[in-house]
Amino acid sequence: MLLEVKDLRVEFPTRRGVLTALNGVSFSIAPGEVLGVVGESGAGKSMTGAAIIGLLEPPGRIAGGEILLEGRRIDNLPLAEMRKIRGKRIGAIFQDPLTTLNPLYTIGRQLVETMQAHLPLSDAEARQRAIGWLEQVGIPAAAQRIDAYPHQFSGGMRQRVVIALALCAEPQLIVADEPTTALDVSIQAQIIALLKRLAREQRTAIMLVTHDMGVIAETADRVAVMYAGRIIEIGPVRQVVRHAQHPYTAGLMASIPPLDRKVERLAQIDGSMPRLNAIPPGCPFSPRCPHVFERCRVSRPELMPAGATDAACWLHDQPGASA
């Protein structure tokens, strides 16, 4: 396994007590694999990504569990060690390309400094490679555009630059946090296709955080569904989309409007996700679940085999049951 996350717990100390933002999150990513992470806002998807690259916003902190990169723990590394992993072994792509690039430096300079921070390259070599990367991500006339500033590019072009920046030190894993959310729909498909192609060519694994099931279905090999700081279902993307085993996932899939027929009313999940300070005991989804029974309200289900996926739902603890 390239990346293993085991029982990760992230806490935010606040004046009114400690909030647990992530609780018992476990998953792994194989080399070259694309893992999609979906969920509503506040479910903890972005926070999982931030914890992996060691950039949780203070006062958030990892309060338990382990993160292993090729078998070596990286969640408790000193800052200087972690710096060598960021960019070099785990790259990152952020949501809004308009704000992720430093407005005062040319994109070439930003590429060169990133490569030189991790690879023994001379200025001329780094510049050559920077032009190469810009060509790779589809910036036209890269040799001329390398000395342009971020504001001289459109949003889609800037996200291509960000992708080049994430890939330029050749990391094994990229944490992409909503990489297409801020872009026009027509650009989204291009960026996803680009990301997918480069990941395949470079054998780079991707953790793709998004709330867009369409992007996930298109791109991911496996998908993890998060709810209230937990993974509630994880499995091959095809299985999760077609045969969701957790009632929440099933509800999510049902709420995607079908294109081939007209529906009077879109399916929806009643209620909303609990606040972090008011997560019910037992299964966090139990207050909204159409299949809830007594056990769900008192004890919390862990991920368990359910059909072709793993789901955290007591329905699957009974022989022969399904959601």
Using CB under 8 A as the criterion, which residues of the chain lie in contact with other proteins when the complex forms? 53, 55, 79, 83-88, 91-92, 94, 96, 99-106, 113-114, 117-118, 149, 151-152, 162, 165-166, 169
Which residue lies nearer to other proteins by CB, 57 or 260? 57
Closest distance of CB 141 from other proteins, Å? 18
Indicate the SS3 state at residue 139. coil
Indicate the SS3 state at residue 220. coil
Closest distance of CB 309 from other proteins, Å? 31
Closest distance of CB 44 from other proteins, Å? 18
Which residue lies nearer to other proteins by CB, 100 or 286? 100
Are 227 and 43 in contact, with CB atoms under 8 Å apart?
yes
Closest distance of CB 104 from other proteins, Å? 5
Which residue lies nearer to other proteins by CB, 106 or 172? 106
Which residue lies nearer to other proteins by CB, 30 or 55? 55
Tokens of 187: 């650009």
CA distances from 14 to 4, 11, 41, 63 (A): 29, 9, 20, 14
How many CB atoms are located within 10 Å of the residue 73 CB?
A: 12
Which residue lies nearer to other proteins by CB, 198 or 279? 198
To which H or E segment does residue 241 belong?
Answer: helix 237-242
* Size of the chain in residues: 323
CA proximity to 164, closest of 132, 188, 190, 126: 132
Closest distance of CB 119 from other proteins, Å? 11
